[in-house]
Amino acid sequence: MPRFLPPIVADFQRDFDELFDELLIGRWRTPAAESDPAMVLEHENAYEVRLCTGAFKPSELEVVVNEKNLTVRATHADNPWKRQLNFADPVQTEKVSAKWANRILTIVLPKKNTRPRKERK
């Protein structure tokens, strides 16, 4: 037996179904800044940062570096994205390099001071 829904309930059901379809279809699959996978490796002479950029293309990414901070931004019509990282040691901003492959952005940030650290006893 078909059931009758009041118009307001039918509208809500239709809107909810559309929202659920959008999520399943993947229109919102660009990464959220807080939850995207990232890895920071500290080497003796440099930091290495690997960021999952999701659906963003290299042309949509902007990398900004200052002495102790890294900011990676992507502007997308529907979903702006930004990731910020801070470092303990200052980096050589003029020698930073980046490469993008398989949706992973790898950034190498050479340290300014590469003196060996004193071991704690």
**Please, what is the average pLDDT of the chain?**
77
Q: What's the 3-state SS for the chain?
A: CCCCCCHHHHHHHHHHHHHHHHHHHCCCCCCCCCCCCEEEEECCCEEEEEEECCCCCHHHEEEEEECCEEEEEECCCCCCEEEEEECCCCECHHHCEEEEECCEEEEEEEECCCCCCCCCC
Q: Percentage of the chain surpassing pLDDT 90? A: 30
For residue 1, the model assigns a pLDDT of 46
Average confidence (pLDDT) over 53-61: 83
For residue 24, the model assigns a pLDDT of 55
Full-model pTM:
0.64
Q: Is the pLDDT of residue 45 over 60?
A: yes
Beta bridge partner(s), residue 73: 62, 82
Spacing of C-alpha 85 from chain mean position: 11
For residue 114, the model assigns a pLDDT of 56
Task: Return the higher-pLDDT residue of 60 and 21.
Answer: 60
